[in-house]
Structure 1
Amino acid sequence: MRSVGAGECWHKHGSFLEHLVDIYRILKIWKAQDSVCLCGLFHSAYSNSYVNLAIFDPSTGRDVVRGHVGDAAERLIYLFCVVPRQPLIHDDLLFKYTDSEIVEHLAASEVSLKNAKEKGVFNEDEAWRNKIRGLVPENGLTVKHIKTGEDVLVSRRVLAIFLMMTMADFSDQLYGFQDVLFENFDGRLEFVGNNNVALWPGNGKPGLWLNSISRMGAIYSLILREEEIFVEQRKRVSGIEVETDRDEDIELVVPPVFEHCSKVLGAKEQIEARDLYWEAVCDDSKGGQERAEELLLGSIEKNPFVGEPHVVLAQVYLTKGRFEEAEKEAEKGLILMLEWSGPWDKRMSWEGWIAWGRVVLMKAKEQSWPQTSWGVLNLGLVK
């Protein structure tokens, strides 16, 4: 990828190569199969419906990519690049549900899956099952190739994989600039605005993408649960364990974010939490550490799914000598940031946030904090 210029292509808030490596890391940490992780690494290699980047020409380069990643991964890469992902993920799935409906269906699907696994009870008339099967039938969807217009069959499992990859993709590259670009003032990220004069890179605020990603994760869970029920019922009736023509050799893992894709973050709460955090970290003139603590606690209460507010709050506690509270917040923040495998506050790299979180946790365990500016500047883990 480096040899063909991926490291020199602009991509949202960095280079294309950085983005591809980030997606690979995210999917690895989420425990996706190797073929899925490799798809993430090369996911826009032939260009796709979101970006006009074609590192490899699909008419001549598929064998080259296949030689690097294998048949299974290359097939996913190619499909990812030729399906109309924006309408497929958003218009045909995400926008078909209200937030409250997703929450209701998540609860119902959990009960249904338990009944299927433990009791062999299968109710095909449940509202949540009827809806998800209507949107994503058991034999997949036929969509149009974005360049040729030919029919392309996308199995239900491959669609689920692309949904998970879109979660990783968006979480890595979206920040405040896109909110201004698409006028995402309500936090639902529906791409309805058109502010083409937005100046890059913007002010660096964390982006309002979490509501959208949480809904993707919830729908991913619905697809996964419907798949599990479908396979369980077939196995009990016919004894068939795996049907490879349905891509059942592709494992559907659950990303750890949003409590394993079981929660939906409201758009309003997302905005309020982001703004409280931003005031805490950017404005030191309105009350000092007491005000920062209040703002960060409010941010965490409204959005408990990202790690950076916990780490910043841990530092506030350290400066006050409240070491046990600092340790608790630092640990929570690190866990969340590791689960995401990428930063929510993209002013610093994920590696930078993890390194700082480890320093804060270390100082909390030591029950000490520097008393001078030079002491803070010299913090580190190297002994």
Structure 2
Amino acid sequence: MNAPLPPAHGLPLQRLDAAQWQRAKLLLDDSWIEQEPPLAAALPVVLARDVGLDWHKAGTFRHHLLGVTRTLQLWQQPEDVKLLGLLHSVYGNAFVDLVKFDANSERSKLAAVVGEKAEQLVFEFCTLSRAQFVQKVLAGQIEADGAVVLEHKGSPRRVEPYTVAAFIIVSMADTMEQWFSWQDDIFSSFPNVPQRSQKAHWMASLWPGPMRPSGRMLSQIASLGLALQHPGLQGLLPVPPVFAHCTQGLAPAADAAAASLYWSVIQQDQPLTDLDVATGVLEQAVQLNPWVGEPQMVLAQLYLSAGRDADAKAAADSALQAFSQWGNAWDKRVQWDAWVAWTRILQQHAQNGNWPERLDKLNNVALKPE
């Protein structure tokens, strides 16, 4: 018999916050948006423009817009910011050629549905340079009062502090919802995107590619979140709960290494007969990047397989907390709600100490009423 593995002491796991989990639980039902009157009123208007038929990164444009809005709902943002999330590309922009409303003739039509404040946010988000905005924020080029000055049509354009805060938060949610390894390749080095030949790099262009989690963008999202600590931006909007309420960064090297370590286990590039190596690799991934749930969730299953129920419960709780903070998946091979569902299975079996010993019995596991 193999010697028991040591307990998972020292891992930066989070405790499951009941209130955060309850907010997330409400969003597992797709009908949640119907309970939010401003969003419910705007959704049919957007759907009438065939957003469900349009491709967008890891899904459809409808999937993307609703996913971004779900995260903003989870982050307890005000109505105008959530509406910005739902409509954030409908006038098109430099990165997405999906014009659903004509900014020259239909602004009043959209404002009649969502209100002038939200429509103005949408218009600016679509028409100002988002690449330049992200560059300025990441470089710390934020005015003392929280404003950001952009170049727009050859002239300086001041973006007011509230709008800056809204754009940062929506950009965080937008990036998390859509970014995976395919974009790491075709849109590498964002916001400074090099011009590369599609024909020469045909392999990188094949959609959706291997569906690895991004190895670079989570650190950028963390840096955007840290910008919300700027004195001119504090208190303008609720701070997202991710990265310890946007007080912690994530080094690019740690982001890249954690994603690679996680993916090496997913691709079974570790010994297949014993758990110790794969467990150690995932533990290192969690040490480097404790802010996403998928590595912790897979680690919980390895702990269960090794009979380490207490460690499995701690890892599953922490994974569920991370999923409850994001509202979107980091590993986009399956959707957010599926990751949450499997994590709850692991959590309950760890609590009850009854993980199946036979492989075929995994097909029978189901969540028991709580």
The answer for the alignment partner of 1:191 in structure 2 is: 193
Question: Post-superposition shift, 1:83?
Answer: 1.0
TM-score by length of 2: 0.80
The answer for the alignment partner of 1:14 in structure 2 is: 59
The answer for the alignment partner of 1:343 in structure 2 is: 329
Instruction: Evaluate the alpha carbon distance shift between residue 321 and residue 302 of structure 1 in structure 2; reply closer, same or farther with a 3 A threshold.
Output: same
Q: Deviations over 1:328-352 (max 9, x none)?
A: 0000001011101111111110011
Aligned partner of residue 275 in structure 2, secondary structure? helix
| CA distance in structure 1 between the aligned counterparts of 2:197 and 2:299, rounded to whole angstroms | 35
Contact 1:20 1:41 (C-alpha < 8 Å) held by counterparts: yes
1:74 aligned onto 2:119: yes
The answer for the alignment partner of 2:211 in structure 1 is: 204
Question: Post-superposition shift, 1:277?
Answer: 0.6
The answer for the alignment partner of 1:111 in structure 2 is: none
Identity %: 32
The answer for the alignment partner of 2:300 in structure 1 is: 314
Instruction: Map residues 365-376 of structure 1 onto 2, 5 A cutoff.
Output: 365-376=351-362
Query: How many residue pairs are counted as aligned between the two chains?
Result: 317
The answer for the alignment partner of 1:110 in structure 2 is: none
Instruction: Evaluate the alpha carbon distance shift between residue 212 and residue 256 of structure 1 in structure 2; reply closer, same or farther with a 3 A threshold.
Output: same
Instruction: Map residues 1-383 of structure 1 onto 2, 5 A cutoff.
Output: 1-90=46-135, 92-94=136-138, 96=139, 135-138=142-145, 140-145=147-152, 152-184=157-189, 190-192=192-194, 194=196, 196=198, 197=202, 198-207=205-214, 208-222=216-230, 225-228=231-234, 251-283=236-268, 286-287=271-272, 288-381=274-367
The letter of the residue matching 1:44 is: S
The answer for the alignment partner of 1:119 in structure 2 is: none
The letter of the residue matching 1:354 is: V
Question: Post-superposition shift, 1:137?
Answer: 4.6
The letter of the residue matching 1:378 is: N
The letter of the residue matching 1:140 is: A
| CA distance in structure 2 between the aligned counterparts of 1:372 and 1:44, rounded to whole angstroms | 48
Instruction: Evaluate the alpha carbon distance shift between residue 195 and residue 355 of structure 1 in structure 2; reply closer, same or farther with a 3 A threshold.
Output: farther
The two structures, once aligned, show a CA RMSD in angstroms of: 2.1
The letter of the residue matching 1:282 is: Q
Higher relative contact order, structure no. (Cα contacts within 8 Å, ≥ 6 residues apart) = 2
The letter of the residue matching 1:191 is: V
Contact 2:131 2:191 (C-alpha < 8 Å) held by counterparts: no
| CA distance in structure 2 between the aligned counterparts of 1:226 and 1:79, rounded to whole angstroms | 20
Instruction: Evaluate the alpha carbon distance shift between residue 56 and residue 189 of structure 1 in structure 2; reply closer, same or farther with a 3 A threshold.
Output: closer
Question: Post-superposition shift, 1:141?
Answer: 4.3
Mark the runs of 5 or more structure 1 residues left unpaired by the alignment.
98-131, 229-249
More helix by share: 1
Instruction: Evaluate the alpha carbon distance shift between residue 270 and residue 160 of structure 1 in structure 2; reply closer, same or farther with a 3 A threshold.
Output: same
Q: Deviations over 1:265-299 (max 9, x none)?
A: 11111111111111112116524422210110010
The letter of the residue matching 1:93 is: V
Question: Post-superposition shift, 1:305?
Answer: 1.1
Instruction: Evaluate the alpha carbon distance shift between residue 59 and residue 256 of structure 1 in structure 2; reply closer, same or farther with a 3 A threshold.
Output: same
Contact 2:265 2:282 (C-alpha < 8 Å) held by counterparts: yes
| CA distance in structure 1 between the aligned counterparts of 2:183 and 2:164, rounded to whole angstroms | 25
Contact 2:146 2:164 (C-alpha < 8 Å) held by counterparts: no
Mark the runs of 5 or more structure 2 residues left unpaired by the alignment.
1-45
Instruction: Evaluate the alpha carbon distance shift between residue 380 and residue 192 of structure 1 in structure 2; reply closer, same or farther with a 3 A threshold.
Output: same
